[in-house]
Structures are given as structure tokens and as C-alpha cells.
Amino acid sequence: MARRYKNVLPGFPLTLGYTLVYLSLVILIPLTAVFIKAADLSPSQFWAVVSAPRVVASYKVSFGLSLAAAAINSVFGLMLAWSLVRYSFPGKKLIDALVDLPFALPTAVAGIALTALYAGNGWLGRFLETPGVKLAALWLRLGGSAETAEYLAGFGVKVAYTPLGILVALIFIGLPFVVRTVQPILEDLDTELEEAAASLGARRWQTFRHVLLPILLPALLTGFALAFARAVGEYGSVIFIAGNIPMVSEITPLMIITKLEQYDYVGATAVAAVMLLLSFVLLLLVNILQAWTSRRIRRGR
């Protein structure tokens, strides 16, 4: 008689089968459909759709700003995680809970809130957009020259309805990913390592650069990848603050929606296919980098 129980952990065929069916239904088949639908176009037609100047500009906005937002989040997310793990201060629990808010908040709510805040007449936008005008008025009242006043009036940063506004929205929605991936690693990190480095004469940044960063890097890269992936796919929060000016502040998901609204289903799927490929390649790169660094660390564990 054959031995029936080879493995003490039962259920392998069932769970694997379920996993594969689930994965196929939810992820693989819809993704394949994108490529099949896009294949309705001839190669030259396909190329014409996906390389139209307006679409190419939207790739740049989407991927460029997503990478920038993920990078900014990596720096500040690490800082936030650090202060949450290392120090105790009043309201720490509250801040810890607030970090998850971008996860939970409907993105449209975030978009409206950010737009209201950063628009020219918003709480923050008011001070960001036109500080120069007030400065110029003050300058004139003090008897300054008109040329200088004109120069001063030019100062100000317009956030809403510009790529900068998109960046703000993408930073907002990506922050929790970095914080939540780095936090557990930081919690496990022994303060003895830092003490040892200090007793050997290392300055604070040397300890960070040579002792802490190599250990945190894999988690930081994971956080970066997640924040990036989320930012590329983001639609709701961006659409309000972006202003959607062609060639300037249109994101690729918007291009897809635009094409859908014009009943150009094939064109929409063509753009979607390109976006899918680009995202996949970028994530693959980040994952390779992450696997490489974590292997370097784990060898030493």
C-alpha cells in the first residue's frame, strides 16, 4: 500500500488549486483580455495610438511623478517610522493611526480635500500662490521701485492644477506603504548595533549610512515599490487636483478614461497594455534590486 500521508501539513492540492483558479479569474484572465483586445489593432495602428504625443506626455507625468512621489515617501516615511518606533511622545498612538488614513479614505475624498486646500483660494494655496503680490504691495508702500515690485510679484508656487499638485496627491496616498513596511524592521533593530558603532567612534550619519541603512534597505525598497505601484494606478485623488491640462497634467489612467468616453475601446486597451508592461518592468527591476539587497543582509543574519 502506498503511504498516504507524505506531508504532515495537509491540504496542499486543495489550496493550490483554489489559489490558481482564484488568481486566474481575478488577475490573469482580465489582464490577458487587455492584450487580446489590444491585438484588434494592427501593429502600426497600435503604435500610432500609444505613441501619440498627448499619450506619451501622460506616461511621463504618470511614471515620472510616481517615481518622484515614491522616492520622497521613502525618505519621509522612514523618518516617520523612525520617530514612531524610537521615541515616545504624547499623541504617538494617534499619529500611528493617522498614518493608515490614506489607506482607508476614498481617494475622491482625498482629491477634493487636497484641491480645496491647495487651490488659489484654499487655506494653503492662498499663501503659496501669491505671496509675491503681497510682498510687492508692501514694497511699493515702503517706497520701492515699480520694477522690483513687479519682480517680487512673480514669486509664488501654484500647486493645484499643475504636476506639482499631482505629486502632492501621490505622496499623500503612498505614505503608509513605506511607513508600514519599514516599521517592523526598525522595531526589530537592536539599539546595541548603534551603540557599538558609536563606541567605535562612528558619527551619527556614519552609523546610519554603514550600519542602519544596509539593514533597512530591503524593506525600504519594498515600501518604495508598493508606493510606486499605488501611485501609478491612482486615479481618484489625482483627477481633481491635476487640472487635466493636455500635455501638462494629464495622467495615463485619465487618457484611458478619455478614450473610453469616446467609445474608443480598442485605443483605451492599447494604452492600458503599455501601462501594464511599463509597470511590470519597473516593479520587476525594483524586486530584483530588493532581492539582491535582502540576500546580502540575510546572509549575515
Partner 1 sequence: MSIEVRDIYKQFGNFVALDNVSLAFSSGQLTALLGPSGCGKTTLLRIIAGLESADRGTVLLEGEDASDIHVRERQVGFVFQHYALFRHLNVFENVAFGLRVKPRKQRPSEANIRKKVRALLELVQLDWLADRLPAQLSGGQRQRIALARALAVEPRVLLLDEPFGALDAKVRKELRRWLRRLHDELHITSIFVTHDQEEALEVSDSVVLMNQGHVEQIGAPQEVYQHPATPFVYGFLGAVNYFHGRIEEGRVRLDDTLLHADAAPEAASLTAGASVTAFVRPHELGIAPEDNANTVGVAARITRILGFGALARIELVGLSADAQHFEVEMSRDQLAAQGLSEGQNVRLTPSRIKVFERECDSVLLAGAGI
Contacts with partner 1, residue ranges (CB under 8 A)? 190, 192-193, 195-203, 206, 210-211, 214-215, 296-297, 299-301
The minimum distance between CB 211 and partner 1, in angstroms, equals 6
**Toward partner 1, which CB reaches closer, 215 or 274?**
215
Q: Which three cell numbers stand for residue 243?
A: 487640472
| Placement of cell 515690485 in the chain | 149
The dihedral through the CA atoms of 226, 289, 64, 77 has a sign that is: positive
| Placement of cell 512673480 in the chain | 154
**Toward partner 1, which CB reaches closer, 31 or 297?**
297
Q: Which of 230, 224, 246, 255 is nearest to 163 (CA)?
A: 246
Residues 22 and 16: their CA atoms lie apart, in Å, by 10
The minimum distance between CB 95 and partner 1, in angstroms, equals 24
The minimum distance between CB 207 and partner 1, in angstroms, equals 8
**Toward partner 1, which CB reaches closer, 54 or 210?**
210
**Toward partner 1, which CB reaches closer, 3 or 299?**
299
Residues 247 and 161: their CA atoms lie apart, in Å, by 13
The minimum distance between CB 226 and partner 1, in angstroms, equals 23
Query: CB burial class (10 A; 0-12, 13-18, 19+) of residue 114?
Result: buried
Q: Which three cell numbers stand for residue 206?
A: 556614519
The minimum distance between CB 197 and partner 1, in angstroms, equals 7
Contact 195, 189 (CB under 8 A): no
**Toward partner 1, which CB reaches closer, 98 or 196?**
196
The minimum distance between CB 90 and partner 1, in angstroms, equals 18
Q: Give the start-end residues of each E strand in 17-90.
A: none
Residues 15 and 74: their CA atoms lie apart, in Å, by 35
The minimum distance between CB 296 and partner 1, in angstroms, equals 6
Residues 214 and 212: their CA atoms lie apart, in Å, by 6
Contact 168, 117 (CB under 8 A): no
Residue positions counted in the chain: 301
**Toward partner 1, which CB reaches closer, 64 or 184?**
184
Residue environment code for 265-276, b if the CB has 16+ CB neighbours within 10 A, otherwise e: ebbbbbbbbbbe
**Toward partner 1, which CB reaches closer, 60 or 209?**
209
**Toward partner 1, which CB reaches closer, 60 or 203?**
203
| Placement of cell 508656487 in the chain | 157
Helix pair 265-299, 213-233: axis angle to 10 deg: 170
The minimum distance between CB 187 and partner 1, in angstroms, equals 17
